[in-house]
Amino acid sequence: MLDITRITLREIRLPLKEPFVISSGVTTERRILLVEAVSADGIAAWGECVAGERPNYAPETIETARLAITAWLAPKLLRHPVENAAGVYQVLDEGVRGHYMAKAALEMTAWALEAERAGIPLAAILGGTREAIPIGISLGIAPSPEAIATKAAAMRAAGYRRIKLKIKPGADIDFVRATREALGSDVPLSVDANAAYTLADAEHLAELDAFGLLMIEQPLAPDDLRRHAELQRRLETALCLDESIVGPAQVEDMLALGSGRIVNIKPGRVGGFARALAIHDLCRAHEIPVWCGGMLESGIGRAHNVALASLPGFTLPGDVSPSARYWERDVVTPEWTMDARGMMRVPRERPGLGVAVDRDRIDDLTVRLEEVRA
């Protein structure tokens, strides 16, 4: 029985080492909502909400998530003891539409709590099998093709197994060409448009077919599954869906329509681990490769992503870069690191997240704290 008696929300502010630019906006500092849940037997576990400060990636923001959690979701979870973490999503979903990121924050914390209480690593409880996971990097839009090509080459030299460029109209073909020339033809390279194009850009996007990309991620709007299918028919390069996928149902639609050939799973976007696992299993059954995306998480959300990415269907490198790519100092110890071959070890020597949460550092960074009790 998973009997949660207290849920604490903390907002921390973590300045990024360098601004992160995507087609719909710039992030210089992450406002991160952390969740701490305590069970009746006094065990604590941590989770993180991936919602951003503005609704430029998804409709949710840190403020809508805080409202959803404090007003509806946390009280509901505290009222309904569940058998195990696998049952949490169903409780949260009853009577609350959407708010997947808010639901995921609680649901993933519940899995961490279950792992802590069982004394086993989060990766193990999720069914993870890998000892180490391959790491990619997502590079924000740079001022020029030369600038991004130089950066990409440096990141490849640092060991990253896959380079992803953010693109938008006006910063696409030339940026990809320069990067491909700098990297050579063998390096796995992909692009992510964060929904910046429309079907009217199909011919333009087809120019990307010349660069041997691993995938084009989310070129069109999140709800445009039919249009993604139309675009996929006009491209050689595989489309990958990110924003479009908020649960297993959209993967079924993608398969039925032919909207893409690869899926980016962010557990924090799809309502948590239970749905992430369902998506993983569905994709595996249909031989659709999946990889774990990122949302510029702190070391806590990163721990959750690392655990998920250790599952067997995660065959492509994830956007699960080491702590030092984002922060001067992370909120966990040890920090997340990558070796020279672009691999990150999945920690198994301690239960739960596999890293220690630095409470003192979190206290220092906290700008807002709220508690919901049974």
Give the residues lining the site for ligand OSB (CB under 6 A): 22, 57, 138, 192, 194, 242, 293-296, 319, 321
The answer to whether residue 93 forms part of the interface with Mg ion (CB under 5 A) is no
Interacting residues of 46 by C-beta distance below 8 A, sequence separation 6+: 34, 35, 36, 109, 112, 300, 353, 357
Both structure tokens of 217: 């991620």
Site string for Mg ion, 275-314 (x = CB under 5 A): ----------------------------------------
Q: Catalytic residue positions?
A: 166, 266
The answer to whether residue 319 forms part of the interface with Mg ion (CB under 5 A) is no
CB of 371 to Mg ion, least distance (A): 33
Q: Which of 156, 216, 206 is nearest to 181 (CA)?
A: 156
Integer distance in angstroms from the first to the last C-alpha of the chain? 15
Q: For residue 255, count other CB atoms closer than 10 A to its CB.
A: 17
Dist. CA 103–CA 126, nearest whole Å: 18
Report the length, in residues, of the chain: 374
Which entry of Mg ion, ligand OSB, none binds 33, CB below 5 to 8 A by partner kind? Answer: none
Query: 125 vs 220, which CB is nearer to ligand OSB?
Result: 220
Query: 20 vs 273, which CB is nearer to Mg ion?
Result: 20
Do 123 and 155 meet the contact criterion of CB atoms below 8 Å apart? no
Which entry of ligand OSB, Mg ion, none binds 295, CB below 5 to 8 A by partner kind? Answer: ligand OSB
Do 344 and 130 meet the contact criterion of CB atoms below 8 Å apart? no
Q: What is the rounded (10 degree) CA torsion for 319, 123, 39, 117?
A: -160
Of the residues 36, 93, 224, 242, which one makes contact with Mg ion according to CB under 5 A:
242
Q: Which of 143, 149, 142 is nearest to 178 (CA)?
A: 149
CB of 22 to ligand OSB, least distance (A): 6
Do 308 and 344 meet the contact criterion of CB atoms below 8 Å apart? no
CB of 22 to Mg ion, least distance (A): 8
Query: 114 vs 304, which CB is nearer to ligand OSB?
Result: 304
Which entry of ligand OSB, Mg ion, none binds 148, CB below 5 to 8 A by partner kind? Answer: none
Which entry of ligand OSB, Mg ion, none binds 321, CB below 5 to 8 A by partner kind? Answer: ligand OSB
Q: Which residue is nearest to ligand OSB (CB)?
A: 294
Query: 61 vs 138, which CB is nearer to ligand OSB?
Result: 138
Sign of CA dihedral 285, 291, 292, 295: negative
Amino acid 212 reads: G
Which spans of this chain sit near Mg ion (rule: CB under 5 A)? 192, 217, 242
